[in-house]
Structure 1
Amino acid sequence: MAGDDDGSSSVTLVNKLDFGDPLYLHARDTTGTALVSIKLKGTENYSVWSRAMLLTLNTKNKKGFIDGTYELYLGQIFSNNYVIVWQELKETYDKIDGSITFNLHKQINSLTQGGSSVSEYYHKLNTLWKQFDALVKLPKCVCTANADFVKHNNVMKFMQFLMGLDEVYQPIRSNLLMTDPLPNVKTAFAVISREESHRNFSGHTVG
């Protein structure tokens, strides 16, 4: 009877876990399901991979298992193992050198639309920008210099976006460059996207 009580108690305990409990497992939480689509390659994409992993774990209410904030009632040893693995990954791959930054910067400046849609081109470029910003990790401050840097960074992204556009957008690109003050890259993307839609619509109408 004692054994039966223990077994039934364990089952009941698991069944009573609500969605907010870190031990709760959804039907989609299986060992064969990848948490993130990004594959860890090493130092070149560790920053992006770890951010994606943290975001996913946080969404699933499992982040505490790797940052040490949550202790399993089944035993501290399990929690410690996950924390150690996560820390070892960080110590191994969270290393930035000049070559990684150089290669990423080169990808940004060499990326072109190449006949793809404006949205596809912008998405690729925006992803590279986010990776670069995550690698650089500039110090944060509330001084006026920070606002100046943000403004300068936005101008650089605006220029990089325009440089990679197909030549068919040269006239509207010239108009954007003559705007004072210069628009941000999101505004430029919206303008170019409208021009693309207009061209596609005109092409279909003529056809």
Structure 2
Amino acid sequence: MIMTLTAKNNLGFIDNSIDQPRSDDLLYGSWARCNNIVTTRLFLKEIKKFGNLHDRFHESNAPRDYQIKKLLNGLQQGSMDISSYYTKLRVLWDELRDYQPTSVCNCGSMKEWITYQNQECVMHFLIGLNESYAQIRAQVLMMEPLPIIPKVFALVVQEERQRSIHHGVANASVRSRN
């Protein structure tokens, strides 16, 4: 190690025979750069002693991937409003996407992959909706092409709002009769 540092005129950074200039000195930037290079080289040599750290410490994502997919497949709207249900789905989709490999492509197949992922999200969303949304679900499934998930969410939220308005009017008329 000493021979390598001496051959590259870097030993002075280790044995402190090269003094660190003051921060306002014109040579400070060059000194800091060289010091960082030497430190990085030493650090990398130490890491190599321990073998490939990725292989040693990398954990499989398969168990978490399984958990997320299981949660997605079992998630139902139940007593949640549409926004809460959608938010839970969105959190799971985002986490699942973090575990998926990313690639850069200029050939056009990336667009197909994104379209497929959107369709999967739309299907998860529609499958978990309460049966009272069967009509809007059928309308969305008849659309060609299938709309993107934010559009589907907006349509279902509109339906939910219409119902709350209609429900509010019905309750007011019942109260006025009494």
Q: TM-score range by the shorter chain?
A: 0.5 to 0.7
Shift of 1:139: 2.1
Amino acid at match of 1:109: N
Show CA shifts across 1:128-187 (max 9, x none). 000000011332222211111011111111111100001100011001100111111110
Residue 15 of structure 2 corresponds to none
Instruction: Indicate the SS of the match to 2:83.
Output: helix
CA contact (8 A) 2:76 2:130 kept: yes
Matching residue of 2:155: 191
Task: Please tell me whether the aligned partners of residues 96 and 135 of structure 1 are also in contact (alpha carbons under 8 angstroms).
Answer: no
Q: CA RMSD in A?
A: 2.2
Higher share of residues assigned helix: 2
Q: Quick one: which amino acid aligns to residue 144 of structure 1?
A: G
**Structure 2 counterparts to residues 18-37 of structure 1, below 5 A:** none
Q: How does 1:35-50 map to 2 (within 5 A)?
A: none
Of 139-148 and 172-181, deviating more is 139-148
Determine whether 1:142 maps to 2:106.
Answer: yes
Is 1:107 equivalent to 2:85 in the alignment?
no
**Alpha carbons of 1:197 and 1:175: their partners in 2 closer, same or farther (altered >3 Å)?**
same
Question: Percent identical across equivalent pairs?
Answer: 29
Quote the Cα distance in structure 2 between the aligned partners of 1:133 and 1:93.
22
Larger mean Cα displacement after TM superposition, 96-105 or 176-185: 96-105
Please list, as runs of the form range in 1=range in 2, the aligned pairs for 1:105-184 lying within 5 A after superposition: 105-184=69-148
* Length-normalised TM-score, structure 2: 0.62
For the pair shown, the structure with the greater C-alpha radius of gyration is 2
Match for 2:108: what amino acid?
T
The one-letter code matched in structure 2 to 1:127 is: V
Alignment match, 1:97: 61
Q: Report the TM-score when normalising by structure 1.
A: 0.54
Structure 2 unaligned regions, length at least 5: 1-38, 40-53, 172-178
Selected match of 1:201 from 154, 165, 168: 165
Instruction: Specify the code of the residue in structure 2 equivalent to 1:141.
Output: C
Shift of 1:94: 6.2
Q: Where does structure 1 differ by over 3 angstroms across 4 or more consecutive aligned residues?
A: 91-94
Compared CA separation, residues 189 and 94, structure 1 to 2 (3 A): farther
